[in-house]
Structure 1
Amino acid sequence: MNELWILYSRLRTEEKLLKKAADKTGVRCNFVDLRGISWPEGLKVGENDVVLCRCVSQAHNLAIARLLESRGVRTVNHSSVIEACGDKVFTAGLLDMAGLRQPRYSVAFSPEEAVKTSESMGFPVVFKPPVGSWGRLLSKVNDVDSAETVVEHKSFMGPQHQTFFIQEYVEKDGYDVRALVLGGKPITAIKRKSRHWITNTARGGDVEGMEIDQTMADVLKKVHDVFNGDLLAVDLFHDDQGWSVNEVNGQAEFHGSVEGTEVDVAGMLVDHCISLMEGSL
């Protein structure tokens, strides 16, 4: 009998909801703290099982997904999705290739060029670490002096910070939109509102459900076509030209979406995994 595996490293709200949803279906579900096992002895996954990679660490999700896939196991999300969505430079390049609108950005490979390009883009700009989540280490830079300071600090923070991802600052009227796409279908969207320019729910942003109109749905479907993720969280901005894609997350936290819309995201994701096990997707 095929089994569902949920691999985690911290019991967040999402993992608890997924376990509860799996138990309701009667599917055999293995709930495993990845920190307590080693590969391959500690993880006896069947070839036709499905594994939800839900660790907090992107590096852990990517590593275990690649190992499982090397043995023919279906992971959610696939390692290629985790990799592409986990690197903002990679994400921006893929969005460009697909012709999807996004905030203007620049990638610099030296401190001097990072300062120069941020000035040429026009202040304010936002420095983002290529790898990171929860709104951490974002820097809104308003002038050259601030840019020089941020770049100098990054120069002492390790090799991953030596690629400088710089994005135009977008005035967004105090909110952005977090939409979830499951199996290519947009399922929920929320406004994330804050007085602070960073609106992530992890940073205390408030949430409010909103309708997915056709123009938003069209953008979300195109994003899915680019990344082909089972579950994607897509962060959007809106202005008089329409929707633009700010970020795409392949390790979606969805408690804010549940709070804002009461959509049973966990139940829908478990049903999606069961369909994968049954071969109906």
Structure 2
Amino acid sequence: MTDVTILYDSIRWEEKALLEAGKKKNIDIQMVDCKKLAINLEKKPEDYGVVIQRCVSYYRNLHSTAALEGLGVKVINCLNTGVYAGNKLFTHMLLKKFGVPTPDATVAFSKDAALETLDLQGYPRVIKPTVGSWGRLISKLNDRDAAEGIIESRENMYPIYQVHYLEEFVQRPPRDIRAIMVGDKIVAAIYRISKHWKTNMALGGVAEPCKVTQEMEEMCIKANHAVEGDIVGVDLMESDEKGLVVHEVNNTTEYKNTVRVCEVDIPSLMLDYALGVKK
């Protein structure tokens, strides 16, 4: 009988580490490639155990979770987490509702509305797609000319990119924080340090261990609850003006560099949590 299913569409270090951790702990793990998966929505599902959702594709992730969850399978994270954490606007509004400090943001629904609000609020500002990861299509708008060029290009893209999410450019040290939450605990946290204003590891950021404070843990617990998460990555910045602010919650978080620099066995902790949920 399967204890845990790892549902993936790309095998990364994280998925391999989960499989190896399962072998060491004698956990019955099955690896399922979502690209080869067809789910009969009218039949009782196969034996999946608890599913740890690791699909990189936003749409595969959401739809496979919806199908499995609808058939009664426990999926980590649940569909609501995928929806809420997968959209920066949704996340922002939920964080505010739960009392979590965030960078100031505005959403505009046309080029003209975006440019008008930028003229009122001033530059620089950061424009982000509401759906996306790894820092892609996130741009710093330094002036009106830059804003016009970038926003004009997005007016011809898929409709989601015509929702212009405009965030304050947070004055902070040259780093941000990635905290890995397993349940209601930060199991490890890193600084992501970069000379560039973007600190994503995929864009060349450098990882160093970050000491977890009580303030950080309390803030991350609230952020996790806001998106109804089980296992998430919470990204924070140290604002010169506001102190700690949460700017993103990651539904299918990467943790390779966190394991490397913090020497914490995150894959084993994830599997222990999944087995605890199963019971």
TM-score by length of 2: 0.95
Q: SS of the residue aligned with 1:81? A: helix
Q: Distance in 2 between matches of 1:170 and 1:268?
A: 33
Partner of 2:24: 24
State the 1:57 CA deviation. Answer: 0.4
Q: Distance in 1 between matches of 2:195 and 2:166?
A: 22
Partner of 1:115: 115
Please give the residue correspondences for 1:1-281 in structure 2 after superposition, counting only pairs within 5 Å: 1-40=1-40, 44-46=45-47, 49-240=49-240, 241-277=242-278, 279=279
Q: Distance in 1 between matches of 2:121 and 2:264?
A: 40
CA offsets, 1:129-169, max 9 Å, x none? 00000011111000111111111000011111111100011
Q: Distance in 2 between matches of 1:44 and 1:36?
A: 16
CA offsets, 1:31-57, max 9 Å, x none? 11111222239x95337x201111110
Can you give the 5+ residue segments of structure 1 that lack an aligned partner in the other structure?
none
State the 1:171 CA deviation. Answer: 2.1
Q: SS of the residue aligned with 1:99? A: coil
Q: Distance in 1 between matches of 2:71 and 2:175?
A: 43
State the 1:28 CA deviation. Answer: 1.3
CA offsets, 1:206-262, max 9 Å, x none? 000011011111111111221221111111011353210111111111112112211
Q: Distance in 2 between matches of 1:97 and 1:183?
A: 20
Q: Which moved more, 1:65-74 or 1:23-32?
A: 23-32
Q: Distance in 2 between matches of 1:45 and 1:229?
A: 25
State the 1:109 CA deviation. Answer: 0.6
Percent same amino acid at aligned positions?
37
Question: 1:183–1:231: 8 Å Cα contact kept in structure 2?
Answer: yes
Can you give the 5+ residue segments of structure 2 that lack an aligned partner in the other structure?
none
Q: Distance in 2 between matches of 1:72 and 1:191?
A: 38
Question: 1:180–1:186: 8 Å Cα contact kept in structure 2?
Answer: yes
Question: 1:104–1:168: 8 Å Cα contact kept in structure 2?
Answer: yes
Q: Distance in 1 between matches of 2:251 and 2:268?
A: 18
Q: Distance in 1 between matches of 2:176 and 2:211?
A: 14
Q: SS of the residue aligned with 1:245? A: strand
Counterpart amino acid of 2:5?
A: W
Q: Could you list the runs of 4 or more consecutive aligned residues of structure 1 that deviate by over 6 angstroms after TM superposition?
A: none
Q: SS of the residue aligned with 2:5? A: strand
State the 1:2 CA deviation. Answer: 4.8
Q: SS of the residue aligned with 1:186? A: strand
Q: What is the alpha-carbon root mean square deviation over aligned residues? A: 1.6
Question: 2:170–2:239: 8 Å Cα contact kept in structure 1?
Answer: no
